[in-house]
């Protein structure tokens, strides 16, 4: 099979524009069924390879949570150090997703995808041999840099492979389900590996998977580039980096430095200034890193806010529960993973059902369902104590998992829907950036509010301090519910129609 076939404006050789050559001439009508089967099999393999990369990258954002207490003990890490183990990874992904997407459009999606897999695998290997907390955090940054080259690029590969709208919608639905499932099962896998092999195994397990994905990509994934290459926007990229890192750094370090510290206040001001400068800059250049005009569409803006809100709640949820179950309740890493199994199963069920609901009824039912259950699940956790009955925890986890699982399909559908294939990487990048940014903010907030009220020994003071975060999660659920209703009104749809001229497929140059 040729691995240099383009899936965009260049000739694909198969006449159907899917970018997957079938090796049979158009006039060979007798064997038409065989090429169709071969083409569908190739598409299925490409989708599987892309979902495999998504699985390991998304799972790595949560698999580490259960291992945090063991890492803290082994490397003598503080609470803020543990926050950085998670946030160094997610922040790096969030910061470079859009740059990676545009680079792939320019240099070739398969090429950048393979480079990302190699960097991610190298970062994972370095994490597994980290001799100190500083080394581990630095390796997590490298791991995140590789991860940023995978998700949006894989989405571009998918949307350029599945050109028939119905097939593309099904593929995107599977993609959205993998996001929720991988993140939900991360704590279980992390707990099992930490308990049986050690915390370092949660990182080196990525290496053979990454190598296998590189080989499969070289064999089955065709090369593709955008018909019109977007220009590099270094100033916009700088503003994004400064805005995200200064905000999260301020949140993480505030308990240690003091909220009235000039450093912390300066970081928050710097973050706000960077956002303002980015918006101003994006309106003045022809091809900015993010075309802020797309946010004139309320559904698109709502989807971005929903992703940030939902993943903030989820990131903090995993961070706090990993500490609560192990350091307060005294469970092992494996038992902690088992206690989160109801969360994973609920997320899996809701992810699969939500994809079907979105395809049949639109995004509103899934968003209302998600917002309501996240609200109720978080509300039950505001009563958390050091001796909360386990059945109460299970109920809370199931409710939260059902709500979180239902959120990914409507987010992905809204982000990609209506976008031209050439900008699919940008649309997917915005959604993924919002997800990863949400996790970073959630972990930062969770660690901040609990570290402020926790004693040296994690016990009743720590549990009491978590109540503040659970009320924040209640607010997140209410916000998701309100955004879901507002984004599906006639007024919201009209805002999308008004920017229709921005969604035109660019012509090949």
Please report the beta strands in 416-470, taking only residues with DSSP state E, as ranges in sequence order.
none
Residue 28 belongs to a domain: no
- If you write DSSP's letter for every residue of 462-500 in order, what string do you get? HHHHHHHHHHHHHHHHHHHHHHHHHTTSHHHHHHHHTTG
Which of residues 427 and 205 earns the better pLDDT score? 205
Task: Answer yes or no: is 9 within a domain.
Answer: no
Q: Please indicate, yes or no, whether residues 283 and 211 belong to a single structural domain of this protein.
A: no
Same domain membership, residue 251 and residue 200? no
Residue of higher predicted confidence among 229 and 29: 229
- Among 121-130, 148-157, 244-253, which is the least confidently predicted range? 148-157
Residue 188 lies in a domain: yes
pLDDT class for 7, splitting at 50, 70, 90?
A: very low
Residue 30 DSSP symbol: T
Both structure tokens of 395: 């109920």
Does residue 273 share a domain with residue 204?
A: no
Q: H helices within 288-330, ranges in order?
A: 298-323
Is the model's pLDDT at 126 over the cut of 90?
Answer: yes
Range of the domain at 281: 234-288
Residue predicted with more confidence, 429 or 448: 448
Task: Answer yes or no: is 3 within a domain.
Answer: no
274 and 306 belong to one structural domain: no
In a shared domain, residues 148 and 239: no
3-state DSSP assignment of residue 26: coil
Dihedral sign, CA of 348, 349, 352, 355?
A: negative
* HEC per residue, 211-231: HHHHHHHHHHCCCCCCCCCCC
Structural domain tally of the chain? 2
Residues 281 and 293 in one domain: no
Both 460 and 358 in one domain: the answer is: yes
pLDDT digits (tens, 9 = 90+) for 78-102: 888 888 998 899 889 888 887 887 7
CB 463 within 8 A of CB 382: no
Q: Is residue 244 domain-shared with residue 385, that is, in the same domain?
A: no
- pLDDT of 19 reads 33
Residue at 311 is within a domain? yes
**Six-digit token pair at 311?**
């993943």
pLDDT recorded at residue 408? 80
- Residue 455 is predicted with a pLDDT of 44
Residues 129, 261 within the same domain: no
**71 within a domain of the structure (yes/no):** yes
Are 180 and 284 members of one domain?
Answer: no
CB-CB contact of 2 with 221 (8 Å): no
Asked whether residue 159 falls in the same domain as residue 252, the answer is: no
Cα separations in angstroms, 186 against 59, 190, 194, 336, 431 = 5, 6, 12, 12, 20
Residues 322 and 240 in one domain: no
Q: How many Cα atoms are found within 13 Å in the side-chain-facing hemisphere of 143?
A: 33
What is the mean predicted confidence (pLDDT) over 301-313?
Answer: 91
Q: How many residues does the chain have?
A: 509
* DSSP letter, residue 290: S
Q: Domain with 469 in it: what CATH number? A: 1.20.1250.20
End position of a domain, from candidates 271, 288, 305: 288
Average confidence (pLDDT) over 404-427: 69
Per-residue pLDDT averaged across 280-292, rounded? 81
Query: Is the predicted pLDDT of residue 64 greater than 70, yes or no?
Result: yes
**386-390: average pLDDT:** 91
CA 207 to chain centre: 20
* Span 345-384, pLDDT tens digits: 898 888 878 877 887 888 888 899 999 999 999 999 999 9
Any domain includes 19: no
Distances, alpha carbon 162 to alpha carbons 46, 47, 222, 306, in Å: 10, 9, 13, 27
The mean pLDDT value of the chain amounts to: 80
Structure confidence at residue 131 as a pLDDT band (50, 70, 90): very high
pLDDT over 60 (residue 308): yes
- Does residue 417 lie in a domain region? yes
pLDDT of residue 504: 57
């Amino acid at each position: 099979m040729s691995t240099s076939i383009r899936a965009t404006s260049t000739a694909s050789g198969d006449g159907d524009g899917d970018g997957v050559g079938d090796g049979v001439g158009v006039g060979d009508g007798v064997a038409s069924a065989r090429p169709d089967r071969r083409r569908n099999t190739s598409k299925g393999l490409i989708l599987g390879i892309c979902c495999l990369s998504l699985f390991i990258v998304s799972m790595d954002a949560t698999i580490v949570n259960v291992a945090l207490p063991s890492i803290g003990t082994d490397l003598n890490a503080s609470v803020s150090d543990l926050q950085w183990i998670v946030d160094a990874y997610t922040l790096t992904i969030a910061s470079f997703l859009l740059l990676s997407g545009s680079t792939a459009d320019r240099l070739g999606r398969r090429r950048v995808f393979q480079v990302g897999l190699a960097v991610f695998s190298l970062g994972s290997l370095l994490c597994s041999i980290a001799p100190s907390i500083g080394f581990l955090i630095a390796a997590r940054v490298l791991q995140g840099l590789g991860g940023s080259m995978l998700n949006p690029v894989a989405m571009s590969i998918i949307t350029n492979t599945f050109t028939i709208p119905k097939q593309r919608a099904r593929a995107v639905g599977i993609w959205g389900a993998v996001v929720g499932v991988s993140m939900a099962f991360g704590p279980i896998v992390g707990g099992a590996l930490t308990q049986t092999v050690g915390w370092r195994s949660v990182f080196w397990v990525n290496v053979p998977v990454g190598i296998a994905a590189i080989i499969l990509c070289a064999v089955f994934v065709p090369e593709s580039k955008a018909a019109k290459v977007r220009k590099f926007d270094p100033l916009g990229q700088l503003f994004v980096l400064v805005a995200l890192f200064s905000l999260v750094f301020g949140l993480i370090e505030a308990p240690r430095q003091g909220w009235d510290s000039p450093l912390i206040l300066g970081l928050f001001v710097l973050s706000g200034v960077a956002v303002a400068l980015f918006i101003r800059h994006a309106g003045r250049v022809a091809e900015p890193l993010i075309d802020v005009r797309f946010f004139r569409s309320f559904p698109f803006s709502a989807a971005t806010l929903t992703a940030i809100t939902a993943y903030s709640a989820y990131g903090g949820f995993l961070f706090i529960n990993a500490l609560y179950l192990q350091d307060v309740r005294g469970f092992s890493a494996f038992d902690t993973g088992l206690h989160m199994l109801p969360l994973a199963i609920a997320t899996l069920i809701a992810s699969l059902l939500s994809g079907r609901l979105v395809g049949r009824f639109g995004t509103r039912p899934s968003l209302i369902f998600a917002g309501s259950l996240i609200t109720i699940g978080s509300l039950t956790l505001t009563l958390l104590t050091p001796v909360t009955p386990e059945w109460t925890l299970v109920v809370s986890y199931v409710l939260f998992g059902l709500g979180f699982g239902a959120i990914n399909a409507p987010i992905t559908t809204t982000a990609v829907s209506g976008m031209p294939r050439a900008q699919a990487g940008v649309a997917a990048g915005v959604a993924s950036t919002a997800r990863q940014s949400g996790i970073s903010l959630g972990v930062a907030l969770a660690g901040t509010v609990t570290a402020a009220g926790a004693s040296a020994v994690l016990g009743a003071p720590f549990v009491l301090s978590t109540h503040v975060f659970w009320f924040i999660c209640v607010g997140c659920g209410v916000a998701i519910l309100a955004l879901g209703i507002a984004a599906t009104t006639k007024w919201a749809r009209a805002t999308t129609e008004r920017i229709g001229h921005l969604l035109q497929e660019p012509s090949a140059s």
